[in-house]
Each structure stands twice: as structure tokens, then as C-alpha cells.
Amino acid sequence: MLNVVTSMLFYVNGEKSCVRNPIIGIKINSLSFVLIDIMIRSLFGYAKNFSISLLFTRERSIVLKDFNRFVLGQKVLNNQTVNPWSNKVYSEEERALALDKAVNWLLHSQDSMSDAGFGSYHIIKKWTTSYVETSGYIVPTLLDYARREKKDDIIKRMFAAGDWLVSIQKPSGGWQGEYIADNRAEVVFNTGQVIRGLLEVYKQTNDKKYLDSAAKSCDWLCSIQEEEGYWQKFAFRGVPRVYDSYVDAPLLLTYQITKNELYREKALKNLYWIINNKQLENGWFEDCDNTIKRNDKPILHTIAYTIDGLLECGLILNDQKIIDAAIKSADKLFELFNKHKFLNGRYDRKWRGAQDIICTGCAQTAIIWLKLFKLTKNIQYLNAAMKMNDILIFIQDRGVSESANTKGAIPGSFPIWGRYEPFSFPNWATKYFADSLLLEKECLKEAIELNK
Amino acid sequence: MKIGLTTYSLDNKDFREQLSSMLKNGIKPDFIILHYGGIHKFSKRINFIRKTIKQRRLKTFSFLSSYGKKIVNPITYKLSEDDSKQVSDFISTAKIINRKGINDASTVQLIKGLGDVIVACNSGKLNLEVIGISSAIFLNVHASKLPMYRGMNNVEWALWENNELFATIHRISKGIDEGDILLQEKIDVDKNKLKSISDYRAFCFFKSNDVMGKAIKGFLDKKLSFVKQDGLGNPLAQYYTMHPILKGYLNKNLSSR
């Protein structure tokens, strides 16, 4: 700490060039100053968020509850950490209730927007505006739920979301990044996810405007793909990333309807660029994080996007090489989960975990295992996914009095102050949680049939 | 070659069943390592008292909740009176070596000093130093087929997949249930008699312990040898605890089979 303070003094004095730290005697270059600066800001930010959330928000009980169950709930027995979610098991009725609560929160999120999209809730900053990308892929989740539960009102809401997405499509064919109020340029990944929503609305309505809109964006995606098979122009932060396999899937889904060979070709090119150049022998992916600074240790969220994208595409194309690439990484996560009873937020190239639980990534991983159960009929995948969902229900089931703004929502991290989306309930976390529970129900039914 | 057994308690069910199996096959073990685990002895007693109180409480509540309902007692398997007497008689004259823990340095020294030994283990996890004693073979009973069903809830997984049940005697190695196999035998089950997971588990463990004597005798008579397992290191070949929802469905299916 003293070291940090000393470094700060140098920084304040404007000595940004390489200087020797008088306390520990190492050289501090400008990069260290930047990192220290970020650290101080981050610490300050955390202190501010903690104070405001505890003193001035109605959600203080959520923060206190997480402190109680995460910090005080951890025990050490026989030199092993026993996590608070250990031995938490939820019945099928409790799982159904958790799904209903998650869906209700997503619908409340839509109601809280000025348009038909979906936003996220932050304990201090409150509701964001609609997040274009996630609004796109929330549509298939809620349509699936509505069809199963025969809820026509939800189907109508999804048509409205589809119309809104079509209305905000950029002239190029792409969709903007991040929140609608940010009014950013179009982004490859985000565009791919909106296509998912539009295709589902098209399947439900048979209205060609949704398909035309999706096809227009696919044309745009194909036009900007680099020769090598990756996307750099209009990519998030302008760097090629492997989680664009999750863009290849909607391209292929559009190909299945339109039979436009170009979509298939471009998707294949990207998929083979990923598995031939970016996947290590142990299943880890290079260039997988959505930041540049922490690309050596990507978040589970983007790792899961990459695997899910590969798996989905492999199944559509019936390409065993692509499926095997997905299985290789999914099995590694399976092994880590069964060994540690949870998954970390980040993993380095040797699959060494760091950071608290990132709930979105956990739900996405459960979805991957459930898809693998459907493919291989290996009950171990279903078993692991059910255990993962137990953890997520434990996180969702806070047992405190909550307003509709948070009730049923999954936080970005567990505990809520974790580094990924701190003090926040991003809509994509709840979306994947709902997806996972929907798919689990289907897989459980299948497993019981197989067991008879 | 000397023959031995290890156990936490001379009343341990698995230990007594394995000893009985050895005696029935004409093998008289040269020693029994009884390890209490020092301080653990105290914590074990506390744990025992805690569990007993909990069980009593649960029994009281379950009595209230099951009032008027038909109570089905799980099937238990135990040694016959003659076999049990034979075991008790043998224990009263056997060489019992008391040790603090199976992984202690004194235990390692003791086993090294015994020369070539084959030890049937009922002792929890052995550390690498113990496993690494070149003159000793440590055996484990696994109530399922290897390498197919390693690890936890192996009987449940075999039942879920409608596969046959096996008893396996294998050498203890670094990985869980990855050691070379000495003997693997199919367990014949009467589906009309066994109606729940606990019935199957009790039956399979009883039958598996009964194979120990035959395996050691076969090894000493040079009729059996260790065979390497295939498929090591695959995470999916390692079975983990079954989710209670799956167990619930399995129990339901077993009762209607």
C-alpha cells in the first residue's frame, strides 16, 4: 500500500518517466503509473459504490445479503474451502419458480424502457436505456418461454421488440454497439445477435420484413470480413476476436432459410480461422477477451460464447471437426467445474482461474453442457449443468425483500461487487439463466425417457 | 508375501466383510493396521455424537410425518452369525498394529520394514509416499465396473445407464480408481428383491467386499495378475455425485422395475 502511495506521489509530481521507487527499489515506468492510476480509480470507485449502495439505495439489503452469504458463508474444513452454495439443491418446482421469476424480470426490464428493447439495472445508476445486442438475443428466449407456457401476450411483446430492432437498423445493415442512448457505430458481434432475434420473429410471423432485415445485415457482415476469415473492421475495439463464432451461427441460421451460399462460406472461413489458428491443444482460446488489457485471461462469458458458437455451427453444418473443437474446451470447463465445484470469472492459457463468479458465463456453460447432453446422451453433462443451475438459483434466490427492479434478476458477478458488471443486473445474465433452465427441463425429460 | 488390512475401526462393516472373505478363502492376514488418527479420534467422537443427535431428531420428525404411512425398511446385508464369529475369533488373536494415521511417517516406515506385502485398504485417501512404497501393493474394493464407472455414486450411474453391476478389486494409484485391475466380477442381482438405490448399494458393496479374498488368493496362486486400465485421464470417465433430482427419478424407476 505504501508502495502505491509513493508511486502516486511521483505521478502527482508529474514524473512520468522511468523512476526508481524509493521503497522497494524497482523501476517504475509509465505503464506502471497507468496501472496504479487505474487501481486507485478502481478502489475509489468501489468505495463510492459500496457507500452509496449501503447508505442511499433500497437495494442495500442485496449487498448486505451477499456479504453475509459470500464472506461469512465461506468455511474452511480440512484445509478445503467450503463455498456457501455447496449442498444447495433445488427441486423441480423451485426451478420452475426461478424461471418464472427470471422471465418476469426480463419483461419488467422491457416495461422500464421507453422503447421495446431491454435494459439492465444498476443499483446506483438505476435503469440503463435498451441494450441493442442483448435485446436481439433475448427475443428467442422469451418466445421459447411464451410458446411453452402458451403466453400470447409475451409473443406480442416480442413482435414489438422485433419491429423496434428493424427500425433502428443502420443504413449499412448493421446494428450499433452497446446502449441505444450511446448512439455508437455498428458492431459485428452485436449485429449477429440482433439477427438471432429477427429470425425467431420471422419464424413466428412469417413476415418477410424481418428476414429481409436479417439478410441485409448478413450481407453487411460478409462484405466487411477480412480475407483471412476474421472481422476487424467494425469489431469491438477494432480487434479480431474468436467469440465471433457466435456471429457465425446466426449467419448460418440465415443461410438455412435464404440458401445464400455466401453466408455459409464466410461463416466457415471464420470458424476454421478460429480452430486452426486460435485454439490451443488444451482447448483454451487466444484473442478471446472483450478487452485488450486482459486478453491473456479472458472472461468465462466470452469463452462460452466462443464454444457455444462453435458447437451451434458444428451442429448446423454437421461438421465433426468443429464439434470436436467445441467439445475439447467444454470438457475442460466440465473438469474444472467438477473439481472446484464452481467456475472462476477468468481463465488463463493454462486454465488457471481468477476472479469471482461471472454468472452469465456460468449459465452459458451450463447451456453448452446441456447441448452436449442432447448430442452425446452422456448424462454427466446434464448432471453438471443441473449443479451449475443450482448455484445460479442460489444466487438469484436472495431471500430478501426486493422491488420488481431486481426480483428474479441474476447479477453480473457473485458476490454482487465482483469485477464483472459490479453492482449491476445485466439483462444478458438473466437471459442465459432462463435459457439454461428452459433447456434443462427439456433435457431432463429426455434423460428420464432414456432411463426407463 | 505378507497379507494385511487397514481400518479405522475393528467394527467397520467393510473391513469385517473383507476379512471374512479372506478367511473363507484360507488366507489368514499377518497384521491389521488400526489407525485412529490422533486428534481426529476426539473430533470423530464429537462428530459421532452430533450425527447421532441429528439422526434421532430426524427419526422423530420422520415418525411424525410418516404417521399412518407404510414404512419400508431398506434391505441390509451382513455377515452370517458363523462368519461374524469367525472374524471376531480371528481379530482376538491377530497382530494389531496401532498407528495414528495411515499416511504418517511411522506407518510408512512400518510398511517398508515388512518387506513384500499386499494390503486391503479401508483407510481413506493414501498419499503419494505411501502409494510409492515399492514393496507394497495396496488394494481397493470398487463396487462398479472399471474404467467405465470411476469415482462417486458408481452404482447409481451404472443403474441409470441400465448397465450390469460389477465388483472390482484394483491397485490403489495416484488417480481416483485408475489403478491396475486384479479381479473384476459381475454381480448377479435379483431385480424383484432390490427396489431402491440404497438396496442396490448395500447389496453391491456387500458382494464386492466378498471378492477380496478370492482376488488375493488368485494373486498368491499366480492365477491372477494386474491388468492396466484403458482410457485414463478422460474427465468424462470420472463420475461425480449424482444430482438429487436424477436420484429421485432413478429410485422411482427402480421401484417399478
Q: Specify whether A294 is located in the same domain as A191.
A: yes
CA–CA separation, A134 vs A128, rounded Å?
13
Residue A258, CA distances (Å) to A115, A159, A210, A255 in order? 30, 21, 12, 5
Of A92, A331, A382, the CB nearest to B236: A331
User: Residue B233: its pLDDT value, please?
Assistant: 66
Q: Which domain holds residue A6?
A: 1-56
Q: How many domains does chain B have?
A: 1
Instruction: Take residue A155 and report the three cell numbers written for it.
Output: 409473443
In chain B, residues with a C-beta closer than 8 Å to the C-beta of A390 are: 243
Residue A43 sits in the same domain as residue A75: no
Q: How many CB atoms lie within 10 A of CB A250?
A: 29
* Residues A52 and A196 placed together within one structural domain of the fold: no
Q: B195 near B239, Cβ under 8 Å?
A: no
Residue of A nearest to B233 (CA): A335
Contact A451 B245 (CB under 8 A): no
Domain hosting B84: range is: 2-37+69-256
Which residue among A16, A32, A56 closes a domain?
A: A56
Clarify whether residues A431 and A364 are in a common domain.
Answer: yes
Query: Could you give the number of structural domains in chain A?
Result: 2
Give contacts of B231 with chain A, Cβ < 8 Å.
Answer: none
Closest partner residue to A335 (CB to CB) among B235, B242, B244 is: B235
pLDDT in tens, B55-82: 666 656 655 655 555 555 556 788 888 9
Helix (H) or strand (E) segment spanning residue A347: strand A346-347
Q: Does A452 touch chain B (CB under 8 A)?
A: yes
Residue B61 lies in a domain: no
- CA A331 to chain CA mean position, Å: 19
**Is A276 in CB contact (< 8 Å) with chain B?**
no
- Would you report the helix, strand and coil content of chain A in percent, each value rounded to 5? 60, 5, 30
Closest approach of chain B CAs to the CA of A224, in angstroms?
40
Residue B233 included in any domain:
yes
Low-confidence ranges of chain A (pLDDT < 70): 1-35, 38, 76-80
Residues of chain A contacting residue B240, judged by C-beta atoms under 8 Å apart: 338, 380, 383-384
Q: What are phi and psi of A285, to 5 degrees?
A: -115, 135
Interchain CB distance below 8 Å, B246 and A379: yes
Instruction: Express each pLDDT in A6-19 by its tens digit.
Output: 444 444 433 334 44
Q: Is residue A89 located within the same domain as residue A140?
A: yes
Residue A178 sits in the same domain as residue A266: yes
Same domain, A312 and A394: yes
List pLDDT tens digits, range B221-240: 999 999 998 876 677 777 88
Selection from B250, B206, B257, B251 nearest residue B72 by Cα: B251
Class of residue A274 by CB neighbours under 10 A (exposed 0-12, middle 13-18, buried 19+): buried
Indicate whether A114 and A30 sit together in one domain: no
Does a structural domain hold residue B50?
Answer: no
Q: Number of CB pairs < 8 Å for A and B?
A: 43
Is the same domain home to A371 and A391? Answer: yes
Which of B160, B238, B239 is nearest residue A451 as measured by Cβ atoms? B160
Per-residue 3-state assignment (H helix, E strand, C coil) for A290-343: CCCCCCCCCEHHHHHHHHHHHHHHHHHHCCHHHHHHHHHHHHHHHHHHHHHCCC
Q: What is the pLDDT of residue A40?
A: 78
How far CA B44 is from CA of A228, B51, B132, in Å, comes to 64, 10, 28
CA angle B48, B156, B211 (to 5 degrees): 80
Same domain, A42 and A92: no
Which residues 6+ apart lie within 8 Å of A23 measured at CB?
A: A2, A3, A6
Nearest to A92 among B235, B236, B245 (CB): B245
Q: Residue B131: helix, strand or coil by DSSP?
A: helix
Q: Is the peptide bond before A415 cis (omega within 30 degrees of 0)?
A: yes
Å between B245 CA and nearest CA of chain A: 7
**Nearest CB to B240; choose among A378, A383, A451:** A383
A30 and A159 inside one domain: no
Q: What CA–CA distance (Å, rounded) separates B255 from A437?
A: 28
CB-CB contact of B139 with B171 (8 Å): yes
- Is A444 close to B245, i.e. CB distance below 8 A? yes
A8 to chain B, any CB pair closer than 8 A? The answer is: no
Whether A280 and A338 share a structural domain? yes
Chain A residues closer than 8 Å to B250 by CB: 451
B56 within some domain:
no
pTM of the predicted protein model: 0.86
Most B CBs within 10 Å, among A92, A380, A450, to test the B interface: A380
Q: CA A363, CA A353: separation in Å to the nearest integer? A: 17
What span, in angstroms and rounded, lies between the C-alpha atoms of A197 and A252?
Answer: 14
Q: Which pLDDT tens digits describe chain B residue by residue (257 residues)?
A: 899 999 988 888 899 999 999 999 999 999 999 886 544 556 666 766 766 676 666 656 655 655 555 555 556 788 888 999 999 999 999 998 888 888 888 889 989 998 999 999 987 788 889 999 999 999 999 999 998 888 889 999 999 988 999 999 999 998 888 899 999 999 998 877 888 999 999 999 999 999 999 999 999 999 999 999 887 667 777 788 999 999 999 999 998 87
CATH code of residue B176: 3.40.50.170
- Confidence at residue A8, expressed as pLDDT on a 0 to 100 scale: 47
Q: Which residues of B touch A (CB under 8 A)?
A: 157, 160-162, 235-236, 238-240, 242-246, 249-250, 253
